[in-house]
Amino acid sequence: MKRTGYILVFSMILAAAPAAMAQSADIGREPAGPSGQEVNLTLEQCRELALQNNTAVLNAGLDVAAARAQKQEAVAEYFPKVSVTAMAFYAFDPLLELELTDIIGDSPFATGLSNTLNQYAQQYGFSSMYSTLKKGVVAHVSVMQPVFAGGRIITGNKLAGLGVEAASLQQEILLRTTAEEVESGYWQIVSLEDRLQCLEGVGIMLDTLYRDVLSASDAGLALETDLLQVRLKMNQIRAGETQLRNGIRLAKMNFFNSIGLEYNPYSTFGRDSLPRLEDIRLTDELSDLLPPENYYRVAEDVAAGLEETKLLDLAVESKRLEKRMALGEALPQIGVGVTYGYNNVIDKGSMNGLVFGMVQIPLSDWGKTARKMQRLDAQMQKAENDRLYLQRQLVLQIHKLWLDLTASWEKLQVSEENADMAEALMTRMHDQYSAGMVAVADLLQAQTQFAQAESDLLDSRIEYRTALQAYLDRTE
């Protein structure tokens, strides 16, 4: 049943008191702020603002960018490593000094020959000792190309690719949960504002009832206790309105902060360039709600397509690749390279180059690698067990969402029936009170029951809409 709202009911009952209605409707409203801006926000616009400004969403995008950069780092391992080295030195004393005996050995013949050489050196002014490495310059360019690294380069690139995919899936999950949080906050504010509207409507009825009881009391047709009961109820309604307005302000501030919307929280001062909190309106209303049967999907099929399931698969695959990386550490490594440069250390400066190949075979790490492989085998099996368990939990979660959806629908049907009965009861009690057949207390109780029934109906509609969106976010 589509309800047109309790305000229409109030209008029909109180058609004879338009002035009182207008006066009561203006209670608590603040004048327009200095900015004079009015902002209307739909639920979809709030979602877009959250995706643009929410810190967690922005950080998730940065995580994806970082994962892609890491993948590019891994790709660079395929290419040759080029390095340039340059060195110059100057020693206080030569680093290498040689005498004749250092070359031909220490023997009587070498000693005699050395003494003869020293005599000629003193006579002709040259040194009998050879010294070098006093100063020098070395500069060269090297290129090293890995040919085989135990498969670690290929495996590392696959791991980096899994990292990009995992970051993207995490981002999708965060976008989904953020949209759910935005919707929950949006409807919470709508619910509070409708509650306030309901209380204002009750206040309108009580204002009219108060005047009627006051007139009857002046004419001696009503007791003073009846008048006191009405005034007591009016004060309760006013206190409830004050509490609700504060709750609405806090809920709005929290919600707008979460979606990154700037606002002026004060009506009398602040930044004129920003709209006042009271001028920002949430315009979406609950449309006709269809039964849950229109949205049902098989839980196992839904769970298989969830991002969480894909993340579990990636966790198992990453452990398998880590095991392959560990095996690669114990395999031979082969590389080729070339270097070319300038050398001016011992002799005169000259350009030279060389081509080389390298084979490295680790021999002492096999025991360590074997134990590491066993550890990674256990971790891989653990990841597989977690995947199977959590997949069943995801199916259970889909079942729970469906049960929540059907339960909220049944609750909605009961709330609609209760609201219809409370409306009929209040109308009848009002007619009987006008005819002098019931007391004021009975009419006040009927009005309270009607307001509570309308509030419960609104809560039930929002609860069903939230449960439906949570189910659709997983199944669509």
Q: In this model, does residue 228 exceed pLDDT 60?
A: yes
User: Is position 104 within any domain?
Assistant: no
CB 128 within 8 A of CB 118: yes
Segment 9-18, tens digit of pLDDT: 333 333 333 3
Q: In terms of residues, how long is the chain?
A: 476
Residue predicted with more confidence, 128 or 46 = 46
User: Is position 133 within any domain?
Assistant: no
User: Is position 267 within any domain?
Assistant: no
User: Is position 320 within any domain?
Assistant: yes
CB 465 within 8 A of CB 220: no
Q: In this model, does residue 2 exceed pLDDT 70?
A: no
Token pair for 31? 């004048």
CA distance 236 to 238: 5
User: Is position 22 within any domain?
Assistant: yes
User: Is position 436 within any domain?
Assistant: yes
Token pair for 388? 């199977």
CB 341 within 8 A of CB 352: yes
**pLDDT at position 36:** 57
CATH number of the domain within which 446 lies: 1.20.1600.10
Domain that holds residue 164: 6-30+55-92+145-259+286-475
CA distance 327 to 4: 71
CA distance 356 to 336: 6
- Specify the amino acid at residue 255: F
- Specify the amino acid at residue 63: D
- In this structure, how many other beta carbons lie within 10 angstroms of the beta carbon of residue 310? 17
Q: How many domains does the chain have?
A: 1
- Specify the amino acid at residue 314: L
Structure letter (DSSP) for residue 337: E
User: Is position 363 within any domain?
Assistant: yes
Structure letter (DSSP) for residue 336: E
Segment 339-384, tens digit of pLDDT: 999 888 776 778 888 898 888 888 777 778 888 888 888 988 999 9
DSSP string, 342-357: EEESSSS-EEEEEEEE
CB 41 within 8 A of CB 280: yes
CA distance 117 to 111: 10
Segment 189-207, tens digit of pLDDT: 988 888 888 888 888 888 8
| pTM of the predicted protein model | 0.71
User: Is position 123 within any domain?
Assistant: no
